[in-house]
Amino acid sequence: MDVTFLQPVFAASGPYATVCADITHNTENADAEVGLRVRAVAEQLVEQGAPEQVVDAVRERLLQTNDGGQLATLRGRALIVAADGSVVLDEVLADAPRDPVARWSPSPDLMPVLRQLAGRVPHVVVFADRIGADIAVATLAGQPEDQDTIEGDDFHARKVKVGGWAHNTYMHTAENQWEENAGRVADELHSLVTRDKAQFVLVAGDVRARQLISDKASHEVGAVLVSIEEGGRAAGADREVVEQRAIELVAEHEAHEQAQAVERVQAASAHGLAVTGTALVVEALRKAQVETLVLADQLDDEQLFIGPDQLQLGVGADDMTALGVGDAQRVPADQALLRAAVGSDAAVVVVPRTAMPGDIPVAAVLRYTDDSTPS
């Protein structure tokens, strides 16, 4: 997972409020239910000493889900709010949180967010008919980052029974128009897939439109194209089933990424390009050696030391003294490791603890080795 989206979190001054909240809004009493859950979150933050402007910012952002717009369809929300009340992270969760969080702490508690985050898998969802398509580009399941509409020419787009000598001409013209419209959609999809490196393109809608788009698709689009019979572009068509399929595809890609990360650790270890265990990973992070940080979803109850700089971290106080840091803080290991990973532009993959080789809690694939790297 590319975690550059977390950079604004660490650019802000702490302490931080970390919130993973259930904002499901799909019942008649949803406004009241969400209101009660948001009030409970606010009360927990107040009890932990969060200032008024932080609590107000959390409350206001979570209650935006009651406005009846797109946000009202979401089930889970993750927020990080800095001490000045600025919202430095606002992300959609894959579902209502399994582990709701409302925490005020010196360092942002990001592991619960990453465990429940809707997958950051670039993808495209298309609702097509024979005239054009509605296209949503997303890096988060359920949260389109960009939406576009392609409208082709509808002149003679419908085949009609006119009879006589003109019948074949009308039929041919309609088919040509459908193909031209599908070509426009396919061209746009090629631009999006090559630009954003989309992991899949999910196409729903009219069966002939889907077939034509597939026929017109470039090699790059065809390699990641998935078609679904349900859903459509027409008014009143059920789009929820398509959105659910997109979430399922995101989960499949995430599972594949997790398996690949573990395999990479094992393969890289054979060539000295991976380290395992907290101490060795901490040393590699300090030197910006880490290409991919692999964390178990359940870490040991361990704390590390951090300094003002994101790459200033250590296992013990002696490490911080050696780094010239006199005002080090002790924080949970996952917070320190994630902070350093973001500071060194490393990717992060969170995997089930049972999938980690040797039941280790943390590992890293390295960008390079040096004389101090274990062989």
Q: 290: domain CATH number?
A: 3.30.1330
Pair 110, 35 in one domain? yes
Q: Does the pLDDT value for residue 159 go beyond 50?
A: no
Examine residue 262 and state whether it is found in any structural domain, yes or no. Answer: no
Of residues 64, 42, 65, the one with CA closest to residue 52: 42
What is the average pLDDT across 88-97? Answer: 82
What is the average pLDDT across 59-85? Answer: 73
Give CA–CA dist 288/303, Å, rounded: 20
Reported as a single tens digit per residue, the pLDDT across 183-220 is 888 898 999 899 888 889 999 988 888 899 899 899 99
Pair 110, 135 in one domain? no
What is the average pLDDT across 215-236? Answer: 87
Pair 214, 327 in one domain? no
Examine residue 103 and state whether it is found in any structural domain, yes or no. Answer: yes
Examine residue 263 and state whether it is found in any structural domain, yes or no. Answer: no
Higher pLDDT, 97 or 215: 215
Q: Does the pLDDT value for residue 52 go beyond 50?
A: yes
Q: Which of 160-169, 209-218, 366-375 has the highest mean pLDDT?
A: 209-218
DSSP states of 17-49? EEEEEE----STTHHHHHHHHHHHHHHHHHHTT
pLDDT at 122: 84
Residue type, 282: V
Q: Which domain holds residue 27?
A: 4-116
Pair 167, 243 in one domain? yes
Within a 10 A sphere around the Cβ of 334, how many other Cβ atoms?
25
Two structure tokens written together for 102? 């409302």
Pair 43, 108 in one domain? yes
Q: Does the pLDDT value for residue 65 go beyond 60?
A: no
Pair 159, 276 in one domain? no
Examine residue 375 and state whether it is found in any structural domain, yes or no. Answer: no
Question: What element of type H or E holds 151?
Answer: strand 143-151
Average pLDDT taken over every residue of the chain: 82
Question: What element of type H or E holds 113?
Answer: helix 111-116
Examine residue 331 and state whether it is found in any structural domain, yes or no. Answer: yes
Q: How many domains does the chain have?
A: 3
Pair 242, 136 in one domain? yes
Examine residue 371 and state whether it is found in any structural domain, yes or no. Answer: no
pLDDT at 15: 92
Pair 155, 178 in one domain? yes
pLDDT at 51: 93
Q: Does the pLDDT value for residue 140 go beyond 70?
A: no
Two structure tokens written together for 147? 């939406």
Count of residues in the chain: 375
pLDDT at 141: 43
Higher pLDDT, 375 or 304: 304
Of residues 117, 73, 62, 77, the one with CA closest to residue 94: 117
Question: What element of type H or E holds 76?
Answer: strand 76-82
CATH code, domain with 131: 3.30.420.60
